[in-house]
Amino acid sequence: KIKEIYIGDYDGGTVTQVTHHNSISIRPEFSPDGTKIAYLSYKDRFPFLYIYDRRTGKSTPLSTRAGLNHAPAWSPDSRRIALTLSKDGNTEIYLKNPDGTGEQRLTNERGSDTSPVFSPVGNQIAFVSDRAGRPNIYVMNTDGSGLHRISYQGGSSYDPAWSPDGKWIAYIVEKSGEGLELYTMTPDGQNVRQLTFSGGSNESPTWSPDSRHIMFGSSRSGNSQLYT
């Protein structure tokens, strides 16, 4: 089955096809300056990461390592990308330049590290790790130093999303028999708030630009739908 990436206005108008790989291309991530798109594609048989330059219309490889290449996250200045690679046997977090150069390993743990997201000022990265047994949210500096855990709600924690004003991290907590619920906390792990109580599956939070609203997917009504 073929899947290509398209760009459209927020209301669905002016739709333009971006990729023409005749393959499966998914999970586009705009750079903050709007000039590039990171995405995953099977166009070269394996799931590799690529960068599409909107100014030139060309796609270039970001990561074609053996194993998993996924979860690209742009730095606020669009100059670096955090991503997850499994070339060392388990998933670790790396930094790279958008042209694929300058690879720098940030985590070194036998557990699985994934889902990196930059703070709005670009000096820290939140991510998910199961190094303590269950997946939970951790924060580190962009050179890998100062790493520490910030989620302690029991169960497992996923999907960190930093608010644009830098004051909050939204995330998902899964507890046995309680479904997946949406929480927020400050970046130091304090001021924890549970925002949903549906008992269903609430996932993939994303913030409005003014940090006043959170959109997320939920199956509380039976089908997966978007809520704010």
Residues 118-172: tens digit of each pLDDT: 999 999 999 999 999 999 999 999 999 999 999 999 899 999 999 999 999 999 9
Residues 3-47: tens digit of each pLDDT: 999 999 988 889 999 999 999 999 999 999 999 999 999 999 999
* Beta carbons of 173 and 183 less than 8 angstroms apart: yes
* DSSP code string of the chain: --B--EE--TTS-S-EE----SSBEEEEEE-TTSSEEEEEEEEESEEEEEEEETTTTEEEEEE--SS-EEEEEE-TTSS-EEEEE-TTSS-EEEEE-TTS---EE----SS-EEEEEE-TTSSEEEEEE-TTSS-EEEEEETTS-S-EE---SSSEEEEEEE-TTSS-EEEEEEETTTEEEEEEE-TTS-S-EE----SSBEEEEEE-TTSS-EEEEE-TTSS-EEE-
Residues 175-189: tens digit of each pLDDT: 877 789 999 999 999
Is residue 206 classed exposed, middle or buried when 0-12, 13-18 and 19+ CB atoms within 10 A define those classes?
Answer: middle
For tokens 């644009």, name the residue. 164
* pLDDT bucket at 99, cuts 50 / 70 / 90: very high
Q: How far is CA 155 from CA 24, 192, 204, in A?
A: 34, 15, 17
Of all residues in the chain, what percent carry a pLDDT higher than 90? Answer: 89
Is residue 121 classed exposed, middle or buried when 0-12, 13-18 and 19+ CB atoms within 10 A define those classes?
Answer: exposed
pLDDT(50) > 90:
yes
pLDDT value of position 176: 79
